[in-house]
């Protein structure tokens, strides 16, 4: 029997690439995102390869998430893998110049949305037991702060620590938990973050040989298909072009 994966945020970037990769590998898919038209197009493209169900929902809408996952039909009611990928950054300004509404939306999406989906699907994953997995998409921003990262960095630090703590609680159930933490990756993420600034997008990625969504999709499939006795705890992945700088020193402060 084919395995089933739930991928949140499957309308673009990592989630979309993962949908294609997992479909090619024969997984049934439950794909979510807010953009219904994109979901319909993706389902139409993938359905010849595998069974696909789409759920148009906002992960910040707790009732919608709970209702959607409470009534999954066969074969989608048996969940082997949850990829908690839906997320976003908003703004690149220092904290003192940031919008509070942006901070709250990042917290609502990256923390509250991710935990709502996890809570809704935990019973199904535990029912599948050995070999099932949760893969949470963190970020290098969890461990490597940078100017303008403020709340985004904080939300991804939550994702990493939540993933590790979840592993403790799920001991003995057979459910694996991983946090995959990418660095600079080329996707709509940067357009969302900058309010659609194509120039900022072009400047960031030009010559950077950034991670591509297909690279992350390959890594997700590798994690999900590891033998059932192995658990990747956290995995940071950067493009070779990205590395660290010295600490800054504000001498006049
Ligand atoms: P994209 O912007 O390409 O994709 C984000 C996805 O999340 C979209 O499918 C979007 O769907 C979905 N999404 C956003 N908000 C919501 C919401 N409230 N409810 C439901 N779905 C939502 O970005 P990436 O693929 O790059 O990002 C995916 C994840 O990877 C994010 O968690 C991001 O923080 C993380 N990440 C990204 C990096 C990068 O440099 N790109 C690096 C490290 C981590 P829709 O708009 O249709 O709802
Ligand atoms: C996003 C990656 O490097 O922009 O999670 O913080 S980075």
Which ligand is located closest to the Cα atom of residue 135?
A: 1
**What is the mean predicted confidence (pLDDT) over 210-215?**
98
Q: In Å, what is the CA distance from 63 to each residue of 81, 156, 175, 177, 178?
A: 22, 24, 25, 25, 26
pLDDT band at 1 (very low <50, low <70, confident <90, very high): confident
Instruction: Tell me how many degrees the CA angle 111-227-173 measures, rounded to the nearest 5.
Output: 55
**What is the mean predicted confidence (pLDDT) over 227-244?**
98
Tens digits of per-residue pLDDT, 164-197?
A: 999 999 999 999 999 999 999 999 999 999 999 9
Task: Kindly give the number of the ligand 1 atom that is closest to the alpha carbon of 39.
Answer: 47
Return the domain boundaries, the chain.
4-237
Query: Is residue 16's pLDDT more than 80?
Result: yes
- 204 CB within 6 A, ligand 1: no
Q: Which residues are catalytic?
A: 152
Which residue has the least CA distance to atom 5 on ligand 2? 139
Superfamily assignment of 4-237 in CATH? Answer: NAD(P)-binding Rossmann-like Domain (3.40.50.720)
Q: How far is the CA of 252 from the centre of ligand 2 (A)?
A: 29
């Amino acid at each position: 029997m084919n395995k089933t994966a739930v991928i949140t945020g499957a309308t673009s970037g990592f989630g979309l690439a993962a949908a294609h990769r997992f479909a090619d590998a024969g997984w049934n898919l439950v794909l979510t995102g807010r953009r219904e038209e994109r979901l319909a197009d993706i389902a139409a493209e993938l359905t010849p390869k595998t069974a696909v169900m789409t759920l148009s929902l906002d992960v910040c809408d707790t009732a919608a998430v709970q209702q959607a996952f409470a009534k999954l039909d066969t074969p989608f009611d048996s969940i082997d893998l949850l990829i908690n990928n839906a997320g976003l950054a908003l703004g690149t300004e220092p904290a003192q110049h940031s919008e509070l509404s942006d901070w709250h939306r990042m917290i609502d999406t990256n923390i509250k949305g991710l935990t709502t989906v996890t809570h809704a699907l935990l019973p199904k994953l535990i029912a599948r037991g050995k070999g099932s997995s949760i893969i949470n998409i963190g970020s290098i921003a969890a461990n490597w702060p940078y100017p303008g990262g403020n709340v985004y960095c904080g939300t991804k630090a939550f994702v990493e620590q939540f993933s590790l703590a979840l592993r403790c609680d799920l001991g003995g159930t057979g459910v694996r938990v991983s946090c995959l933490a990418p660095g600079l990756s080329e996707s709509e993420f940067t357009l969302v973050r900058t309010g659609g600034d194509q120039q900022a997008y072009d400047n960031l990625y030009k010559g950077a040989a950034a991670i591509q969504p297909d690279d992350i999709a390959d890594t997700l499939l590798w994690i999900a298909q590891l033998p059932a006795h192995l658990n990747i705890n956290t995995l940071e992945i950067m493009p070779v072009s990205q590395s660290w700088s010295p600490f800054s020193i504000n001498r006049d402060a």
